[in-house]
Chain A
Amino acid sequence: MANQFLLNTQSEFLKCRHTAALWLTLIAAAFLPAVNCLILIERPNFFLVKFQQQPWISFLHMNWKNDASVILPLFVILLNNVIVQIEYKNNTWKQVYALPRKYADIFFSKFIVVQIFLLSFFLLCSLFIILSGYTISLLQKGYPFISYAFPFHHMVILITRIYVAILGVSAIQYWLSVRFRNFIVPLGVGIGLWITGLVLMDWENIIYYPYMYSTLLFFIDAPKHLGTLPLLLTNSVVCFLVAISLGFWNIYSLKQRG
C-alpha cells in the first residue's frame, strides 16, 4: 500500500513537468538573493560597515526577512494554484477519481508534491544566498564573506522555523485550490487574507492569524507582539492539522467528483 502511494506520488510529480511550477519555484527562490546581491554591490558605502561582523548571518536575515514576509506567502498561494489547476485545466479530475485510488491517496499525494516544491524553494533560496554572498565578495573586496564560514546550523534552524510558520497557510491554500474549480477563488482569498494580515500587524491577537506567521518570526522580539516563538510555531502546526483535516473531510464528502 505504501509502495502504491509512492507510485501515485511519482505520478503526481510527472504531471508537473513542463508546467510553471518549476519556473515559479526557481524565480521565487532566486529573486531576493539576486536583488540583494545587486544592492550590496552598488551601495558599499552604506552596507560595508553593517557586514563586517557575522556577514553571513546578517545576509541570511536580510534575505529571509523579506522572503518570509512577502515572497513566501505569495509563492505558496501561487504554487498551490498552479499544481492543482493542472487537473482543472485539463479536465482530468474525473479520470483521477475513476482510478483505483483511495480518496486519501489522491488528496495527500498531491499535497506532498506541493510540499516538495515548497522545500525545494527553501533549498534553492539558501543556495542562491550562498552564491550571492560569494559573488558579492568577488566583486566588492570589502565584504568579508570569504573570511567567515557559512553558518549552516543557523540557516537550518531559521528555515525550519519559517517552513513550520508557513505550513498552516500551505494547508489552507491547498484545500481552497482543490475545492474550487475557478482559480480566482483561492488566489483572491489567499492574497486578500495576506493583505488583511499586513493591515492587522499591530493587532494584539495577530499571533492567531496564520497568514502573518512567517512575517512575525522576524518581529517576535518586539514587545508589542505578546506571543512567543514556541506559541507561534505551535499555532501554525495546529492550524496546519486543522486545515488539512477539514480539507480532506470536505473533499471526501463531496457528492460529485470530477
Chain B
Amino acid sequence: MDTPIVNIQKLSYGFGKQTILDNIFLEVPCGSIYGFLGPNGAGKTTTLRLILGLLQKKNGSITVFGNDLFSNRINVLKRIGSLIEQPSLYLHLNGRQNLEIFRLSYNSRKSRINEVLQIVGLSDVGNKKVKGYSLGMKQRLGIAIALLHDPELLILDEPVNGLDPNGIIEIRDLLKQLNNEYGKTIIISSHLLPEIEKTATHVAIIQKGKILFQNTMEELLHIQLDSSLIEIETEDNEKAIQVLQQTVPVTLRGNRILVKHQSKEQIASLNALLVKEGIQVYRLILTQNDLENIFMQITLR
C-alpha cells in the first residue's frame, strides 16, 4: 500500500481537563475522497485544525506528505488547500478581489483566478461583492480559494453545512470532479452519513474523540447491510427484554429495544413471541442506516 498522504498516530488533544481527541489514528490514502464522519462536537474540526497547524498538538504524531507537520509547516501548507467551518471571505470585497488576496500569498499565476472561478462555476459573479453571495456561492468561492495553488490535498470541513438540496448536489458533483478530473485527494468532514456515502471512497467515524471505524466506504456499507437493527417499542419494555433475551441479545436505548437483524423471518418470530407473552407491541421496524444507528452497530460488533 502507498504511504498515506496524511498519517495521524496516537493523537490526543484537549482544552484544559476536557479531552477532545483520545488517541486517534487516521491514514488518508493518496487519491481518495476521505469522509470524516461524526456528530457535532465529536472532534472532526479539531482534528482538521490540527492537520493545518491551527492548533498545537500535545501528544502523538501528524505526518503530511511524509513530513512532520510542525517541523515542515510552510512546505506542507504549500500543498494543502483548506476550507474550515464557514468560508473565510472578505465580505466587503468581490470574489475576484478575495481570490487576488490569497493568490498573492500563494504566489500563483494571475490566470489561476479565472481558472478556479470556472472550476467552481462562479465566473459570472466574480465581480459581485461577496456579501451579496448565497451560502452555496460562498462555499464554492471558499473551495476556489482552496484550489488557487493547485494543491494535492484539499481539506474541507462540513462544506455542505447549511446548503439547500441544490447546493448540496452542486458541491457533491464538484468534489467528485476535483477527485476524478484533477486528481485531488480530498478530506471532507460531515455529520451526515448520506452525504459521505455519496461522495467518499474511504471513511473514518469519530465519536466523543475516538475513532470507531476506519476503512473503505464499501466496508462500511457491508457492515450496514450485515448488521441492521430491529427497533421494538412495547407497552412493557422491561418484560419484553426478559422475554427476548432468551432468544437474542438485546439493548435498550431510551424507550426502544434494539435487536441485531438477521432475517425477515426473525422479525415475524420476535413479534409472535411478544404477542404470545401478552405484551402489546406498539412499534417494530427495521432501522434506517442513519449515523446514530451506524454508531450503535459498530459499537455492538
Contact = CB atoms under 8 A, between A and B. Distances in A.
Contacts of B91: 90
B104 A14 contact: yes
A194 to B, nearest CB: 29
Given A98-B54, A98-B80, A7 B105 contact: yes
Interface in B80-99: 80, 82, 84-86, 88-93, 97
B128 interface: no
Contact of B56 (A98, A255, A258): A255
Contact of B90 (A10, A15, A93): A15
Interface string A161-177: 00000000000000000
B93 A11 contact: no
Contact of A257 (B54, B74, B86, B90): B54
Contacts of A95: 82, 84, 88, 102, 145
Contacts of A245: none
Interface string A94-123: 111111111000000000000000000000
Interface residues of A, number: 28
B54 A11 contact: no
Contacts, number: 84
B77 interface: yes
Given A7-B105, A101-B105, A256-B55, A91 B100 contact: no
Given A14-B100, A95-B88, 5 more contacts: A7-B104, A91-B88, A97-B52, A98-B77, A98-B84
Contacts of A196: none
A97 B86 contact: no
Interface residues on B, range: 20 to 34
B59 to A, nearest CB: 14
A95 B82 CA distance: 8
A90 B90 contact: yes
B53 A99 contact: no
B101 A90 contact: no
B54 A99 contact: no
The 8 closest A-B pairs by CB, nearest first: A95-B88, A11-B104, A100-B77, A92-B88, A100-B78, A7-B104, A98-B52, A255-B56
A91 B105 contact: no
Nearest to B129: A18
Contact of A100 (B74, B97, B100): B74
A11 B105 contact: yes
A102 B89 contact: no
Nearest to B82: A98
B88 A90 contact: yes
A15 B90 CA distance: 7
